[in-house]
Amino acid sequence: MKARLWIIPLLLVWSLVAHAGQADLPALAIASLIDPAKLATLGKRGANPRVQKCVYWLATARRDGQDPAKVMDKALASAKVAGGLAVKLTKDALLRNLDIADKLGALDEAGLAEMRRGRAATVQRGPYKGDQLSVDHIIPRAVVPELDNVIANLELMPLRMNEQKNAKIGQRQRALAVKLREAGLLTGKRQL
């Protein structure tokens, strides 16, 4: 019996290591999804499913008692997103998307299962109930294709609302363009 007592401390250490790894899993998963080098290689709308997956990981972390803002801080540091403003814009966008999905009731079990795979959850609350939760380009892709896979330019919204938006440019889009230029995420000189 005494000969086997050594296994108890070993199991405790293994348990602590495994648990610590699980706590970092959402940040590591998000870091991989928002890595600028990977985003640069994606085709048209390639980042859209990544936004869905990021929201899944943020919701999962929150459910497990983690602060989504702190998870984003770890993810951004790990992904090596350059520049303070680029970090802030990316963090704010993903936390806003978590809030949007939550308010629309898309973070139920079925919605999370879809988002984990990068698919659209179903809106469960509000006037767009039953719609798919789509990814919108705040500054339309048709206007500035360079921003197609920039996380800070992507926002969740019900599909019908997204379809009605078209390629309209307003004050919100102009203000975001200024911030994206300052952050180095928009290089084009075209005025909106």
Structure tokens at 125: 């609350």
How far is 10 from 42, CA to CA, in rounded Å?
A: 44
Are 137 and 176 in contact by the 8 Å Cβ rule? The answer is no
Q: How far apart are CA 95 and CA 22, in angstroms?
A: 21
Band of pLDDT at residue 166, cut at 50, 70 and 90? confident
Q: pLDDT at position 17, please? A: 45
Local structure of residue 147 (DSSP, 8 states):
G
Q: Which residues contact 25 (CB under 8 A, 6 or more apart)?
A: 57
Model confidence pLDDT, tens digit, residues 108-141: 999 999 999 999 999 999 999 999 999 999 999 9
What digits encode the pLDDT tens for the residues 38-61? 999 999 998 999 999 999 999 999
CA distance 145 to 137: 10
CA distance 15 to 101: 33
Match 């197609």 to its residue by tokens: 148
Q: How are beta strands 154-158 and 133-137 bridged, if at all?
A: antiparallel
Predicted TM-score of the model (pTM) = 0.86
Q: Rounded to an integer, what is the distance from CA 78 to the centroid of its chain? A: 15
Helix axes 68-79, 7-34, angle to 10 degrees: 70
- Helices assigned H by DSSP within 64-134: 68-79, 84-103, 109-116
Give the whole-angstrom CA distance, residue 71 versus residue 134. 23
* Closest to 86 measured CA to CA, from 174, 177, 154, 184: 184
Q: Return the higher-pLDDT residue of 2 and 115.
A: 115
